[in-house]
Amino acid sequence: MDIGSSKSMVSEGGISKLSGFTACTNPAFDSVNRVWKSGSSIQAEVVSVLAAIAEVIKERDGKETDVEYCAALMTALEGSSLGNPRRTAAIAYLLHLIVRKVPKEVLQAQFHRFVQVRTEFKFSHIF
């Protein structure tokens, strides 16, 4: 499916064709499906990242839980290149949407990972 030709997906009502494209059924990402700006390269990147993450989770027989999405997005962020700021921004945006849904205990257990990723990005911008 060509993302550029998807400019009126949300206005068609019912089940969004965009959610069909991403195959994402997690309601935390409904805002990605609701707001579509034609020609927005960052939105296209967000949809692309979400589609890839959903595909990986489903290939591994995941249940598309908030924790699965958070873990997959953290892994993607750790592996993302600062040379591709749109991809990094898309991953960070999706992580922002899901992290609020993740149980506090999981976030506390993984806090060191979040701090490490943030620190790596901060120092890579300085040097």
**39-43, 48-52, 110-114: least confidently modelled range:** 39-43
Give the separation between CA 77 and CA 118, rounded to whole angstroms. 10
Domain that holds residue 75: 41-117
User: Long-range pairs for 67-75 at CB < 8 Å and ≥24 separation?
Assistant: 67/102, 67/103, 67/106, 69/26, 69/28, 69/29, 69/94, 69/98, 70/95, 70/98, 70/99, 70/102, 70/106, 73/98, 74/110, 74/113, 74/114, 74/117
Is residue 65 in some structural domain? yes
Angle subtended at Cα 99 by Cα 96 and Cα 101, rounded to the nearest 5 degrees: 125
**Does the pLDDT value for residue 118 go beyond 60?**
yes
What separation in angstroms does the CA of 30 have from each of 36, 98, 120? 11, 11, 30
Is residue 111 in some structural domain? yes
Give the separation between CA 19 and CA 10, rounded to whole angstroms. 10
What's the chain's average pLDDT? 75
pLDDT of 10 reads 34
Is residue 25 in some structural domain? no
**Does the pLDDT value for residue 54 go beyond 80?**
yes
| Percent of the residues in the chain that have a pLDDT greater than 70, as a whole number | 69
Is residue 93 in some structural domain? yes
Is residue 67 in some structural domain? yes
* Mean pLDDT of the region 22-30: 75
Is residue 72 in some structural domain? yes
Query: pTM score, two decimals?
Result: 0.70
CA 113 to chain centre: 18
Greater model confidence, 12 or 80: 80
The total domain count for the chain is 1
